[in-house]
Amino acid sequence: MSFAALRASARRVNVVASSARGSRVALRNSAFRKYSTEVPPSGPAPKGSNKLLIGGIAAAAVGGAAFWVYASNSSSAKEAGTALKSGAQAAKVAANYVPTKEDYQKVYNRIAEVLDSAADKEYDDGSYGPVVVRLAWHSSGTYDKETNTGGSNYATMRFEPEATHGANAGLKVARDVLEPIKQEFPWISYGDLWTLAGVTAIQELGGPKIPWRPGRIDGFAAQCTPDGRLPDASQGADHVRNIFYRMGFNDQEIVALIGAHALGRCHSDRSGFEGPWTFSPTSVTNEFYKLLLNEKWVWKKWNGPKQLEDKTTHSLMMLPTDYVLTQDKSFKKWVKAYADSEDLWFKDFSAAVSRLFELGVPTQQFVASEPWIMKNTDEN
Write down the catalytic residue from 137, 138, 165, 345: 138
138 is catalytic: yes
Distance CA 191, CA 264 (A): 22
d(CA 323, CA 289): 10
- Mapped onto helix, strand or coil, the DSSP state of residue 9 is helix
Question: CB within 8 A of 146, min separation 6: which ones?
Answer: 246
Smallest CA-to-CA distance from 216 within 130, 133, 156, 138 is with 156
The set of residues, in sequence order, having a beta carbon less than 8 Å from that of 243 and lying 6+ positions away, is 141, 229, 230, 231
Kindly name the residue from 137, 194, 212, 277 that is annotated as catalytic.
277
End-to-end Cα spacing for the chain: 28
> Rounded CA gap, 65 and 236, in Å?
43
- Give the single-character DSSP code of 144: B
The answer to whether 195 and 103 are in contact (CB under 8 A) is: no
Query: Where in the sequence numbering do the catalytic residues fall?
Result: 138, 277
